[in-house]
A and B are shown apart, each in its own frame.
Chain A
Amino acid sequence: MGARGAEKYDAIIIGGGHNGLTCAAYLARAGWKVVVLERRHILGGATVTEELWPGFKISVASYVVSLLRPEIIRELDLPRHGLEILPVDGTLTPLDDDYLWRVDDHGTTRRELRRWSKRDAEAYDEYSVLMAEMARFVKPLLGSAAPRLGTQDARGLAALAGFARRFASLPESQQTTFIQLLTMSSADFVSQWFETEPLRATLASSGIIGTFLGPRSPGTAYVLLHHYLGELDGEYRAWGLPRGGTGRVSGAIASAAREAGAELRTNSPVARIVTREGRAAGVVLENGEEIAAQAVISSADVRVTLQRLLEPGTLPPESEAAISNYKFRGSSGKVNFALDRLPTFTCLPPGTTDVYRGMVSISPSVDYLERAYDDAVTGRFSRQPYIDIGFPSAVDPSVAPAGKHVMACFVQYAPYDLADSDWNSQREAFGDTVQATIAKYAPDFPDAVLHRQVLSPLDIERTFGLSEGNIMQGELLLEQLFAERPLSGAGYGTPIRDLWMCGASTHPGGVITGAPGRNAAMAVLRAGGRRGRGRQPADQEQAA
């Protein structure tokens, strides 16, 4: 067991989500004495699997993976720590009396697309290759602190120059696509290639996830790209389910961190961060216990870290203003079901079963998604929401009792702020709406429901500590990306010396990537040398 009380740690990591654990693992491997403090009774943060009902193991929040950085899997040797990813195959978009069903098998998908549009079938290959190229181009940006335009320091200038060189070496058509991905709406972006409405909508839907924007809002094309960055076994845009649930991802990282010597404590909510002479010096837990450390690294979001956990007045006023202006605006909910049997999508030929190994997307048209957004703008949840549905038990039977199933529904839009109501009174109505929306395509679905868990943005905030229930710890808006995330030019540092951030509020943002945790660990190590004690004062990566 690690030391307690008076003995000082090199680093305290606030929050045992996958990013906090990743950061801890890297620091511990560098020889740092590290403790992770998790508020809940289990580790994992939003990367968590809980047995909500006997035999039903529910991946409560995050439910698919693909974006976990391959270097993290490799360096932390996660397969040895129990990580096994099972592939998910295909996306079905059910319609009233038809469907669009794309699967991994190239020939099958091509035939299906030709049924809709020959032109689209041709364009699909080109589009897929192009997006893989884009993912490859962006990938190096994810693995380190983002270069900042106008930077003065040598490392930053070198990074910028490197990026400019790589950009210049792209073919012009790919340069165009990269600019478009940063600036366009996801609907406009995909409509350049495709005319089939459900294809446009389903592709564009990746661009709205976790944002308070509609598919026709500029900026959503970047979110679309963000969801293409995944790479499983070297294949881009491959999605998978961890055997045993997404909790296994954080479980494997926790195991790697523990093996490297990190101490992981649950049921240890941090009440505040202690600063002394302008430096972070440790934390006080809610039970009054004080823990001292050379550095404090928070995987909580920027608002929780710098506004809730710091004494008011600690930050300079400009930083306070910048944090107040940082946009969370949770817009999504999650509904988890325990099912007696799998639902039947009546648009499919009778007897079709392999659809459950993939995702089902309720996104029949761009207008449908846009109208779902319009509801959110007026302060209510979508009457006809976008739903991304997965059936983890169809891929991994270990997460449900024999013959039973679990079904995960990611739902948009569910605005954190409701206009004339509150989530405590609307939670079940929201669940009913989701259920009714799915029942339109699978009428036998409601009868198959054994249990239901509804997570509104308020619940996501309360359960996982994510401000306003934003699953990305802040919207992926252009002004909140790269070097602007979360505070302009701050990188993983904060205005307080020895206080760092390593969560999804930092570059490159949300989804299970582990990149913020790893990048933060690198920045902290660079600032502090290989050992925590006696290290140099933090360099300019500590915020301006």
Chain B
Amino acid sequence: MGVHMLSRFYKFTFAVALTLMGFSAPAWAEGDKGPPLLAVYQQECSSCHMAYPPQFLPKASWQRVMRGLDKHYGSDASLDAATVQQIDHWLQTQGGQGKRAREEPPQDRITRSAWFERKHREVSAPTFKRASIKSAANCVACHRDAAQGDFEEDRVRIPK
């Protein structure tokens, strides 16, 4: 048994133990809850969309995102230089950790990552385009507590 398997086994055992004790363990179930969000990151990014977990993109992608805020996926999201610097520094520290950020997805879109597409392969393109969802970038449409880092599959509810 490799180190990776062993660590998975311990995580699983620990999660089961916690569940038996009456706690829920959403963070371990998906393994990507990540660090607490920097206040200014949370504040600025979530004015328009959920503040995405920094581990969902690699550092190189985040760097391009932060350098191109005036042309941010079809919208001007420019910030003053000091705020850009603060967020950029934090993303270069916290971004790209773990298995989700090994690849730089096309156009630096989280939703174009191989892991994202694999996880959502049962969701059709028309479903993502529903008025109640609008796009695959709208995590909270189906993952109600995504903003708190909860992407637990059991709690997914796809709106009509």
Asked if A pairs with B, the answer is no
